[in-house]
Amino acid sequence: MKQVNVKYLVLTLLASSIILLDQLTKYLVLGNFHLGESQPVIPGLLNLTYIRNTGAAFGMLAQADPKFRIPFFVIVPLAALSAIVYVFRRIPAKDRKLSVALALVMGGAMGNLIDRLSLGYVVDFLDFHWKYRYHFPAFNVADSAICMGVAILMFDLAVRSDDEFTEETSR
C-alpha cells in the first residue's frame, strides 16, 4: 500500500478546516446580523459587526470601478492559488512549517473567493478596536488564516540559513 505524503495530508486537512470554519462563521453572521449591526463581545476591545467588503484586505480598492474590481478579485486569487500549488508541489515532504503556511494561505484565499463568487463581496465581522476610538479594519477567519500563513512564510525566510535556501532552490 502506498504511503500518503504528509504534506498533502496537512494541505487537505488544514485548508479544508479553514474553509469550513470561515464559511460557517460567515453563515452565522449572515443569518443572525443585519448589515452594520454590531454586538460587543469584549466591551472596549472586540465587537462582532457585519460588514460587506467589496475590496481587498482591509477594504483596499473597494471604491474601484466594478468593471476592474470584480474580475481583478477573481483572477488574482486564482493566480495566487495556482502559484501556491506550484510551490507546494516542490517543497520537501518533511517541511511541515512551509506546508502549514501554504495551507493556511490557500484555505483563506479559497474562503474569501467563495464569498466573492457567491455573494459579490466578502463577509467581514471581527471588529477589534481600542475603547471604540481606534478601529482595526474588520476581518474574518479567512483573512486571519492568510495573515498567519504569510507571517509563518516571512519568519521562515528570515531564519532560514543561506545554505538551506540555496540547497532548496537549486533542486
Model confidence at 67: pLDDT above 80: no
Annotated active-site positions, please? 124, 143
pTM of the model: 0.85
Residues in the chain, total: 171
Model confidence at 170: pLDDT above 90: no
Report the candidate in 11, 16, 52, 23 with the shortest Cα–Cα distance to residue 114: 23
CA dihedral of 21, 26, 32, 36, whole degrees rounded to 10: 140
Domain boundaries, the chain: 6-169
List the single range of 29-38, 93-102, 126-135 with lowest mean pLDDT: 126-135
The average pLDDT across 22-31 equals 98
